[in-house]
Amino acid sequence: MEDILGQLARDIITPKFASIKHTANTALDILKDEDKLKKIEAWELREICLQPLLLALESRARKLGHTALVGIQVMFKDDRFRSSMETSDEDKWLPSQVLSVLSLLLNMTVTASWCTSAKTIVKIAQ
């Protein structure tokens, strides 16, 4: 996950996407700090790491979008983002966060303004 967030931060060279770079670096700092990782709950870590990935998808930049999709796949396979204990807010539960990502991907495939083809999204989502 650290590689994906680092790549996302490095790929941003324009001030237009500064918020993506900032959130990616924030998430990266947390992932690299063992003390912070021990103190943070899995749902909080997911939320922090999902933010730059979702922003990158919404940016409509192909390279950022591709990196974000790979990052989402990696995140949902990584055990650090899973826990048997969840918050009382159902929107922050893993299944809800997965559905949020799937909803964004679905919107990308049916909206004409997105540059990505439906076939590409379906392949990546598999």
pLDDT digits (tens, 9 = 90+) for 40-86: 888 888 889 989 988 988 887 888 888 988 888 888 888 887 776 66
- 42: its two tokens: 């899995």
Under the banding of pLDDT at 50, 70 and 90, the label for residue 101 is confident
Tokens of 66: 């591709």
50 with 101: CB under 8 angstroms? Answer: yes
Domain layout of the chain by residue ranges? 2-125
Percent pLDDT > 70 in the chain is 68
User: How confident is the model over 29-48, as a mean pLDDT?
Assistant: 89
Q: Which residue has the higher pLDDT, 38 or 100?
A: 38
> The dihedral of CA 67, 69, 74, 79: what is its sign?
positive
